Amino acid sequence: MSFNPSKVDIKKFLPHRAPMIMIDEYFVIDKKTIGTYFTIKEGTIFVEKGQFSEAGLVENIAQSCSINVGQTYFGPEDKENNSDVIGFISSIKYIHIYKIPAVNDTLTSFATLLSRYDGDDFSICTMKGEITCNEVKILDCELKLFIQRN
């Protein structure tokens, strides 16, 4: 049975729940790439004085990146279960933030897998990411993530 990502609630791949979830939906997902959307709402945890903070941008791209690797911990029969995967940023090679978005802006985040090492119940991966807002690049980065099945 093949995996059809259009039928999956992307939040199933994240351990995050409100108010920490920084992804609304995805537009592409495969073994090497992930693309997500997130509309910044008033009251979002990383909003202050109408602006989305740098920490919020980093959280958004980290969640996007972790979905790409986290998806591989599930078989087709698991797609409707809550995520049993944890992860964290283990290092940041670089991160450039060019602009801070505002409430009601929609972020388009895209990440590409550069390298991956899989252990028995964990993965260490390097991802290159970019966030745009209104078709303008506002962040680019290279992150190393550690993802593990609980």
Q: Is the pLDDT of residue 2 over 50?
A: no
The pairs formed by 13-19 with CB atoms below 8 angstroms and a separation of 24 or more are 13/66, 13/67, 13/70, 13/71, 13/74, 13/83, 13/85, 14/63, 14/66, 14/67, 14/70, 14/83, 15/83, 15/85, 15/86, 15/87, 16/63, 19/43, 19/44, 19/45
Q: What is the pLDDT of residues 10-61, one digit of tens each?
A: 666 776 667 788 999 888 888 899 999 999 999 999 999 999 999 999 999 9
Q: How high is the pLDDT of residue 3? A: 43
Q: What is the pLDDT of residues 17-31, one digit of tens each?
A: 677 889 998 888 888
Q: How high is the pLDDT of residue 146? A: 92
> Which domains, from first to last, does the chain contain?
5-149 (3.10.129.10)
pLDDT bucket at 75, cuts 50 / 70 / 90 = low
